[in-house]
């Protein structure tokens, strides 16, 4: 018998209602259904988003748990609140503007059981505008051993496609407020606690991307976040001082180059 799972989604006022609706529908259309769909409203929403919530809650009695925060606190706090709301041990993350393949949950639940994993993700496909306009594929290593090695250099799981055990996240300290690196920090904490990872080698999610996403990976503010997070990894002993210097240098160079070139580097060198 397939174990029940919760879906955890966070949304805030700048999201587009049509993207939000499509993301929710991709979960409702899964081959293995959830019995607990938690949506965290990170601060007051716009009318369009609230209308989408009213529609889906009315159409699916008893399925949705809408948790509203009085003000925008950011992704880490929103997700931590949402995790506490989830009633199942297995939690599937879902962003409010992406599209899950309809067998994503089925594949990941099977992988979690077969590999005795505490966290499972997959490869994904980025798209711009319409889901048919795909741009590149994000590939991540499959085995736990390769995941640990990969994590020394880059995030080893695609966060939008992650499924994890609630107890493992709680044991690892939940999400912490490392801007741009909230997910990466949690993965490192989980791996250092001995929790096992696995990545399905299929593209189980379509991730909405575009020029704005790569713009956020540049500028002085992003460089400061890079330094803070990588210095944290060094302090907790996850990476060496040499790896810290190398990682900082590479990321700073990528952060200061023009946005178009940055996107090319991500697609050719960093994403495969």
Same domain flag for 109 and 65: yes
**Which range of residues forms the domain containing residue 251?**
215-270
Same domain flag for 40 and 98: yes
Check: CB of residue 111 under 8 Å from CB of residue 198: yes
User: 95 CB contacts (<8 Å, ≥6 apart)?
Assistant: 9, 10, 23, 160, 207, 208
Which one of 183, 209, 235 terminates a domain?
209
The rounded distance, in Å, linking the Cα atoms of 96 and 10 is 7
Give per-residue pLDDT as tens, 226-256.
999 999 999 999 999 999 999 888 888 777 7
Query: Is pTM, for the whole model, over 0.85?
Result: yes
Which one of 174, 192, 209 terminates a domain?
209
Q: What are the phi and psi torsion angles at 31 (to 5°)?
A: -70, -30
The rounded distance, in Å, linking the Cα atoms of 242 and 148 is 18
Give per-residue pLDDT as tens, 256-268.
766 666 566 556 5
Give per-residue pLDDT as tens, 54-73.
999 999 999 999 999 999 99
């Amino acid at each position: 018998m397939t174990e029940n799972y919760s879906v955890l989604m966070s949304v805030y006022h700048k999201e587009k209602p049509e993207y939000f609706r499509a993301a929710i529908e991709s979960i409702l259309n899964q081959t293995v259904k959830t019995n607990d769909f938690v949506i965290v409203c990170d601060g007051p929403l716009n009318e369009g988003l609230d209308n989408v919530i009213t529609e889906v809650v009315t159409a699916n009695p008893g399925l949705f748990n809408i948790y509203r925060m009085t003000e925008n606190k950011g992704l880490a706090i929103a997700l931590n609140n949402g995790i506490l709301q989830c009633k199942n041990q297995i939690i599937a993350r879902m962003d409010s503007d992406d599209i899950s393949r309809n067998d994503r949950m089925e594949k990941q639940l099977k992988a979690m059981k077969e590999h005795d994993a505490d966290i499972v993700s997959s490869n994904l496909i980025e798209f711009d505008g319409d889901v048919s306009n795909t741009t590149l594929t994000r590939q991540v290593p499959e085995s736990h051993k390769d995941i640990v090695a990969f994590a020394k250099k880059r995030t080893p799981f695609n966060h939008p496609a992650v499924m994890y055990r609630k107890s493992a996240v709680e044991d690892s300290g939940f999400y912490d407020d490392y801007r741009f690196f909230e997910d990466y920090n949690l993965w490192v904490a989980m791996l250092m606690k001995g929790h096992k990872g696995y990545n399905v080698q299929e593209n189980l999610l379509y991730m909405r991307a575009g020029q704005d996403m790569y713009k956020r990976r540049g500028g002085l503010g992003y460089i400061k976040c890079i330094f803070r997070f990588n210095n944290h990894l060094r302090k907790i002993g996850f990476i060496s001082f040499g790896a810290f210097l190398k990682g900082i240098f590479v990321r700073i160079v990528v952060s200061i180059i023009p946005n178009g070139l940055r996107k090319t580097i991500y697609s050719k060198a960093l994403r495969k």
